[in-house]
Structure formats: C-alpha cells, structure tokens
Amino acid sequence: MTKDKEVIENLSDGILNLSSFEPVSEFEPYKNLYSRMQEKAFKILEKNQYFAKDKQQAIFLNKDDLALISVDLEAGIAKEMKKIENGLFILNSSVSLAPFLGILGTVWGILISLFEMQKGASFSNTVIIQGLSTALATTVIGLLIAIPALIGYAYLKSVAKSVYIDLGVYSQELVSKLELQYKKVD
C-alpha cells in the first residue's frame, strides 16, 4: 500500500487529475477505492457547478460533500472486504466439521469391531486392533485437517483485519487530500 499511497501523495496538479491510477501491487482494493472516490467527487463537483450562481466561478466541495464521499468510501471498504473474506467460511467450516468426521470414524471403527466380535463367537485381538486402528486413524485425520485449517483461518482473518484498517486509513487520506485541494476556505 505504501507505494500506492506515495502515488497519491505526490500528485502536484490535484488528486482528481490522476486518470489512470495503477497501483504498484496487484491488489485491487486501493485502486477500487480511489476510482470510487474520484467518480463520486466528479459527480458532486458537476452538481455544484450546475447549481452555481456564477458558472465561471471556481467550484468547491463543502463539508457535506466531503462527508458524503467519506460515507461512500466506507461502503466501498465494506464491498472490498466482502470480496477479501469471501472464501474464509470454508476454513471456518473445516475447523468445525473435521473433528466431527474424526469422531464419526472413531465410532464407526468401534462399531465394526463390535460387529465382528458379535459375528464370530471367538474373541480375537486382531478384530479389536483393526477396529481401534480405524477409529484412531480417522481421529488423527480429522485433527490433521482441523488444526491447519484453524491456523490458516486465524492467519487469514488477521490479514483481512489488517487490510481493513489499511483501507480505512487510505480512504481517510484520500478524503483529507481531497479536502485540502477542493474545499473552499471559509
């Protein structure tokens, strides 16, 4: 983000004059927020120009215009976060379901052991060991799925939270820069 932020900060002829903002990274949310801010600001400036008494006078953004842009950027952040967090439910579901599948396998293995013992009148260690082996193997598989899924989910959720904070700061900086350049001095 810092490279993208530098592009915005180094604009000398106005934040809205950046026609083809290309972020350094392939990460689109910053570009999408900038485009959203630019589009909303142009619409508001166009509206202000239309309602201006003197059409030759320079147009500015007022406090309410900037608040509207800020709210629109918050909606943009929510939209970007929805895209970022789109697949996290799969990891979260895996964390919850994998232990249950392990327990199901455990019960199934013990059930098979008991069924084999009931079927054959003789008591055999092999039958019990095979059933317990199946039971323990499925438990291990369930845990081998759940533990990495939990770690991955926690990591990606942390990254998403960090991106959310960065997008919030970035949008505030965009509005601040816009205010410095287009707000009429009272």
Q: What is the pLDDT along the chain (186 residues), one digit of tens a residue?
A: 455 555 555 555 567 766 545 554 556 888 889 889 999 999 998 888 888 777 777 788 889 999 999 999 999 999 999 999 998 999 999 999 998 988 898 888 888 888 877 777 566 677 778 878 888 888 899 999 999 999 999 999 999 999 999 999 999 999 998 888 888 776
Residues 6+ apart with CB under 8 A from 44: 61, 65, 68, 69
In angstroms, the CA 89 to CA 93 distance is 6
Residue 52: predicted pLDDT: 79
Say what the pLDDT of residue 116 is.
Answer: 77
**Residue 4 has which token pair?**
């993208």
**Phi, psi (deg, nearest 5) at residue 77:** -65, -45
- Residue 56 in tokens: 């030759």
pTM for the structure as a whole? 0.73
- The enclosing H or E element of 94 equals helix 88-119
* Whole-number Å distance between alpha carbons of 1 and 163: 9
